[in-house]
Structures are given as structure tokens and as C-alpha cells.
Amino acid sequence: MFEAFNPQKISASCLKAGATQQQAQEIADLITAQVNHTDMPTRLIRQAVIKELEKLNPEAAYNYTNHEKWAAQKIVVRNSYL
């Protein structure tokens, strides 16, 4: 299923990871510009978010990366019981 790109999701996930409002908006704007020029898959969007977070807020990048890993493991565990 295809979901349209939503820059608010980028901003919200950066904020949840610990980025400031300004950092989150800057990253959302940068990623939006990249997505508007290419057909960027979700995997590459995540990688771009991490790269930008690492530049602006390494702690938030760490939190974002670990949350992504945790969420992926949780989905696998849930599906294994179905």
C-alpha cells in the first residue's frame, strides 16, 4: 500500500526522538525538498532523517535509530504469534 509523503510525520518523529522544534522543522524541510525531486522510498527517507539528525543532534539520532530497531523487532514478535 502506498502512503503519501507527510512532512509532519518527519517532524513529529524527530521531536519524539529529542530534537528541538527548530531542528525537527529543518529536517522535515530538507527531507521534503529531497522527496519532491525524487521518488524516495521510506527506507531512504529514514536514512536521510538519521543522517540529518546526526549532524544536528546526535543524541536524538541515537534515540531515533534505536526506536526504529525496537519498533521493527516488536512487529516481528507480534507477527510470530499470529
For residue 58, is it within any domain? yes
Span 20-58, pLDDT tens digits: 999 999 999 999 999 987 778 889 999 999 999 999 999
For residue 26, is it within any domain? yes
For residue 55, is it within any domain? yes
For residue 56, is it within any domain? yes
Please tell me which residue, 3 or 24, carries the higher pLDDT value: 24
Residues recorded for the chain: 82
Domain that includes residue 46, residue range: 7-80
CB atoms within 10 A of CB 49: 25
If one counts the domains in the chain, the total is 1
